[in-house]
Chains A and B, each alone.
Chain A
Amino acid sequence: MKKPSQFDAIVVGAGPSGNACAYTLAKAGLKVLQIERGEYPGSKNVQGAILYANALEQIIPDFRDDAPLERHIIEQRMWLLDETSFVGTHIRSEDYNKPPYNRYTILRAQFDKWFSAKVREAGALLICETTVNHLIMDGDQVVGVQCDRIQGDVYADVVILADGVNSTLARKAGFHGEIKSENVALAVKEILFMPEETIRQRFNIGEESGVVIEMVGRITDGMMGTGFLYTNKESLTIGVGCMLGDFKNNPNRTSPYALLEQMKRHPAIAPLIEGGEMKEYCAHLIPEGGFHAIPQIYGNGWMIVGDSGGFVNAVHREGSNLAMTTGRLAAETVINAKAASKGYRADSLKAYKTALDDSFVMKDLYKYRDMPKVLHKNPQFFTSYPDMVAQAARTMITVDGVDKKTKEREIFASFRKTRKLTGLVGDAYKLWKAIR
């Protein structure tokens, strides 16, 4: 009954994980088919978007020569916001302004198109405008995919699922269940165009350097989440994401777009984006369940990489680097299995999981394994604390004839009123325990 394999490997999806995987496979001389449902690679993909150089460097060392990069990041701001103010840190270093740069802002539609061209140069066959509906099984072994085209059944020795956060294929095949709303964040964002000169002046940056701002506080309406503002070459990306379960259970029934609009009007943000011309509005789910939410990622003839495996480090806002690394390691597993003629059963593909465990991917996810739970159970990190800090700073800095000692007492009294001493100490301990 088994049809002869037409390809060594089929990669479903042309995002960072799928491209990293297909590139590595093709480069090693394997016969690779990559299937993308968008009109072109990137047309279905949404991200903040920050590119971390290291993960890509390990795949394409000279990517900086021609990759479409917006700005390298020289400054990161972390803001806590209450209704009217913000308190924050700025980390800016001239060390970040020297090549080789560590991270960049990118536009995914352009970046993914570039990465995909590299994949094809390496020898993989790419088919766009094609949605994979089902995996084809022979008993318990994946042997191919069924596409929404006439005669759309294609066979391969191994199928790698890089189909993104919604990963319908793995779910339909019964490899894992439906995503839980407490394990994904729903993020919405807009891209706002403005003259390059305006961006440089507003953010105090040069022609190619950039700034990222991460925000926590009242902008998420009591929900667990963050806002962000990134500088691109001639545009700003502004967005906000909260846990999907929090949106669902929010008594205010706040819509994601209302949240974003409200955030854009915050007095700390409005002047930075003023005059920006909105050219696109996106929404995307981000798998933020972390270590405990990672599903089974390999089996007989299949592996899962990138967002479809939940590989996002929500604490550090890292995703595309985990995606590319999982894609690369899955590809290396296939290459090794082929070289050793070990076949593509689970016992052979298990090497993928072992390689992941040894990499920063699983080490980092394991380190923060309890973070989602701690933050979720303690919404004060997104409400009372930003309020308290902002108010304390305001009180100390306002000069009104009240002596500083009295102000200190007032601040401490208000802290104790909001959170009690045991609450404060307890929260600090919980956070420390979750990140140590």
Chain B
Amino acid sequence: MTAITVNVEEKLFQNRYRVDAGRPHIKIKDADICTNECGSKSCTFVCPASCYKTEGNGTVTLITDGCLECGSCRIICSEHMNVDWEYPRGGHGILFKFG
């Protein structure tokens, strides 16, 4: 399959969110583990909302605003268990209009 570039932000723009400002429901436990011990960094391409990004220096950043709450990142980080995953506070996060 030939790789294509997709602007996922454009897709997420259609969704309705109530962001819990300053209280992300998912956290990277130890940033050093992502940088130094994780070779695959699979969260950076498996996350369907592209919340995880690799920076030039090899670190991984996480912005949860567009999170679709699927839980994939928590499950695939099985070697390092470096994802601290909770549901958002009641009423916050993604609000599906159609589901």
Minimum distance in angstroms from A233 CB to a CB of chain B: 11
Cross-chain contact of A178 among B8, B14, B78 (Cβ < 8 A): B78
Question: Which chain B residues lie closer than 8 Å to A89 at the CB level?
Answer: none
Report which of B1, B18, B76, B99 forms a contact with A282, defined as CB distance below 8 A: B99
Q: A179-B75, A262-B1 are in contact. Are A44 and B90 (CB under 8 A)?
A: no
Tell me whether A252 and B11 are in contact in the complex, defined as CB-CB below 8 angstroms, given that A109-B99, A280-B98 are known contacts: no
Complex CA distance for A54 and B45, rounded to whole angstroms: 39
Given A255-B6, A256-B46, A280 contacting B14 (CB threshold 8 A): yes
Contacts of B71 in A (CB 8 A): 165-166, 179, 285
B99 touches A258 (CB 8 A): no
Is A191 among interface residues, defined by CB-CB distance under 8 A? yes
Closest A residue to B43 using CB positions: A248
User: Which residues of B, 1-35, contact A by the 8 Å Cβ criterion?
Assistant: 1, 3-6, 8, 11-12, 14-15, 18
Contact indicator per residue, chain B 56-99, by CB within 8 Å of chain A (1) or not (0): 00000000000011111011101000000111111101111111
What residue in chain B is nearest A113 (Cβ atoms)?
B99
Most buried by A among B3, B15, B71: B71
Cα distance A280–B86 when bound, in Å?
23
Q: Taking the complex as formed, is A417 at the interface, i.e. its CB lies under 8 A from any CB of chain B?
A: no
Distance in angstroms between the alpha carbons of A42 and B16 in the assembled complex: 13
Query: Measured between C-beta atoms, what is the minimum distance from B68 to chain A in Å?
Result: 4
Are B96 and A258 within 8 A (Cβ)? no
B15 touches A280 (CB 8 A): yes
B90 touches A147 (CB 8 A): yes
CA distance A49 to B97 in the complex (A): 14
Given contacts A128-B91, A248-B42, contact A258 B69 (CB under 8 A): no
Q: How far does the alpha carbon of A284 sit from the alpha carbon of B98 in the complex, in Å? A: 13
* Residues B88 and A46 in contact, CB atoms below 8 Å apart: no
- By a CB distance below 8 angstroms, the chain A residues around B6 are 255, 257-258, 261
A279-333 residues at the B interface, CB under 8 angstroms: 279-285
Contact in complex: A247, B4 (CB < 8 Å): no
Q: A109-B99, A130-B90, A131-B87 are in contact. Are A257 and B8 (CB under 8 A)?
A: yes
With a cutoff of 8 Å between Cβ atoms, the chain B residues found around residue A85 in the complex are: none
The answer to whether A44 and B14 have CB atoms under 8 Å apart is no
A116 vs B46: C-alpha distance when bound (angstroms) = 33
B contact residues, total (Cβ < 8 Å): 41
Cβ–Cβ contact A255 & B97, under 8 A = no
Contacts of B85 in A (CB 8 A): 166, 168
In the assembled complex, which residues on chain B have CB atoms less than 8 Å from the CB atom of A218? Answer: 1
Interface: A38 (CB within 8 A): yes
- Are B99 and A112 neighbours in the complex by a CB distance under 8 Å? yes
A257 and B48 in contact, given A49-B99, A128-B90, A252-B1 (Cβ under 8 angstroms): yes
Closest to B87 in A: A131
State the Cβ distance, A390 to closest chain B Cβ, in Å: 16
Which residue of chain A lies nearest to B95 when distances are taken between CB atoms in the complex? Answer: A43
Among candidates B48, B70, B87, B99, residue contacting A168 with C-beta atoms closer than 8 Å: B87
Separation of A46 and B46 alpha carbons in the complex (Å): 18
Query: Could you tell me the distance between the alpha carbons of A128 and B90 in the complex, rounded to whole angstroms?
Result: 7
Q: Mark A251-277, 1 if CB is under 8 A from B, else 0.
A: 011111110011001000000000000
CB of A188 closer than 8 Å to a CB of B: yes
**Most chain A beta-carbon contacts within 10 A, residue among B49, B72, B91, B99:** B99
The 8 closest A-B pairs by CB, nearest first: A129-B91, A108-B99, A283-B48, A281-B11, A130-B90, A283-B68, A129-B90, A109-B99
Q: B: which residues have CB within 8 A of A?
A: 1, 3-6, 8, 11-12, 14-15, 18, 40, 42, 45-46, 48-50, 68-72, 74-76, 78, 85-91, 93-99
Can you add 13 more A-B contacts, CB < 8 Å, to A131-B90, A190-B11?
Answer: A44-B96, A112-B99, A131-B87, A165-B71, A180-B75, A191-B98, A244-B75, A244-B76, A247-B76, A255-B6, A258-B3, A280-B98, A285-B72
